[in-house]
Amino acid sequence: MSDHVVKLDRTATIRADVTPERAGWRHLGFQVRGLRAGEGFVAESDGHEVCLVLLAGDVDLSVGGERWSVAGRRGVFGGLPHALYVPPGQRYGVRAVTDLELGIGMAAAEGRLPPRLITPDDVKVEIRGGHNVTRQISHVLDPGHAEKLLCVEVYTPSGNWSSYPPHRHDEHHPGVEVDLDEVYHYRIDPPDGWALQRLYTDDRALNDVVIVADGDTVLVRRGYHPVAMAPGYDGYYLNFLAGEHPSWDARDEPDLAWVRGQWAGREGRLRLPLGGSGRGAPPEGAP
């Protein structure tokens, strides 16, 4: 694991593993798990709420006395997800019917909500932004759907920007921003492409740019964190967030907040083709 990026080990069962201790934050744990057809596991949620998002494959799921057989999507670019929410103190089981891949978020919780299967019909789809900042947000866990967790899937078309205007959520100011741990787990189509994610703070004490490959997980500990997809390549990322007061409150970077109302740019912006001398017409009466 680098300072910001956890690489995917495609040969392992636990292909990526982020614990609060490894990440240096308080709340969020995250894993990517892969299973061959016929493989499975049983786990205890103990003192954590757990959300399993089906990235690809068919699966039998169980929690408590409930069971579900789920025909999932072939991959993250194939449609909306199924997910399983497991509260604390529950035993849950996963058995892969086909080759299976899961993204799993977890956070310490009290157990105020029941287990449930989230289907594609339950996922609210939002088209956000405009112009070359258009992206799709697929809401898996919104505020109130879990105790500490939030979860969305975000699709960013080729050449577009996402998580823009840059925003942050690392201080507790209700109604403005809340303090949340966050991971971005990426998939790119075709998978040999890349994205850029900038991580920076107002004082630029943090001011890094990460080159993101297919399968990478980026840790957002603090600061602003916009994303840009390389032209020719479509992007997906699974966001899990967690905190004491989970909400979508976030603070835009002040110098770029104006873009939220003018996605195509201000009046007078560059348009192609650019022609002329740049001098304009001579004033009336000039020789």
The answer, yes or no, to whether residue 72 has pLDDT greater than 50, is: yes
Average pLDDT over residues 50-61: 98
The answer, yes or no, to whether residue 2 has pLDDT greater than 70, is: no
User: What pLDDT was estimated at residue 284?
Assistant: 72
**Residue 5: Cβ-neighbour burial (10 angstroms; 0-12, 13-18, 19+):** middle
Average pLDDT over residues 191-200: 98
> Alpha-carbon distance 32 to 10, whole Å?
10
User: What pLDDT was estimated at residue 285?
Assistant: 67
Percent of the chain at pLDDT > 70 equals 97
The answer, yes or no, to whether residue 256 has pLDDT greater than 50, is: yes
Residue 183 sits at φ, ψ, to 5 deg, of: -120, 145
145: its two tokens: 């759907």
The whole-model pTM stands at: 0.95
Percent of the chain at pLDDT > 90 equals 93
Residue 119 sits at φ, ψ, to 5 deg, of: -105, 165
Distances (CA, A) of 48 to 23, 86, 111: 17, 8, 8
14 in Cβ contact with 33 (< 8 Å): yes
Residue 91 — pLDDT band, cuts 50, 70, 90? very high
Average pLDDT over residues 170-199: 97
Angle at Cα 65 formed by Cα 63 and Cα 66, nearest 5°? 65
**H or E element in which residue 137 lies:** strand 135-141
Which strand ranges, in their side-by-side order, compose the sheet holding 48-56?
A: 14-18, 29-35, 100-108, 48-56, 83-86, 116-118
The answer, yes or no, to whether residue 16 has pLDDT greater than 60, is: yes
> Alpha-carbon distance 238 to 62, whole Å?
23
User: What pLDDT was estimated at residue 1?
Assistant: 44
The answer, yes or no, to whether residue 281 has pLDDT greater than 90, is: no
For the chain, the domains span: 5-259
> Alpha-carbon distance 40 to 93, whole Å?
7
Closest CA to 32 of 7, 9, 15, 11: 15
Place of tokens 């967030």: 241
The CATH number corresponding to 5-259 among 3.20.20.140, 3.30.230.10, 2.60.40.10, 2.60.120.10 equals: 2.60.120.10
Average pLDDT over residues 187-202: 98
**Interval 118-165: pLDDT, tens:** 999 999 999 999 999 999 999 999 999 999 999 999 999 999 999 999
Residue 270 — pLDDT band, cuts 50, 70, 90? very high
Closest CA to 39 of 16, 12, 63, 18: 12
10 in Cβ contact with 216 (< 8 Å): no
**Interval 41-50: pLDDT, tens:** 999 999 999 9
Distances (CA, A) of 157 to 73, 76, 139: 19, 14, 18
Distances (CA, A) of 247 to 71, 238, 239: 31, 17, 13
The answer, yes or no, to whether residue 93 has pLDDT greater than 70, is: yes
62: its two tokens: 């169980």
User: What pLDDT was estimated at residue 239?
Assistant: 98
Q: Please, what is the average pLDDT of the chain? A: 96
**H or E element in which residue 188 lies:** strand 181-189
Report, in angstroms and rounded to the nearest whole number, the Rg of the chain calculated over CA atoms. 21
Residue 279 — pLDDT band, cuts 50, 70, 90? confident
DSSP 122: G
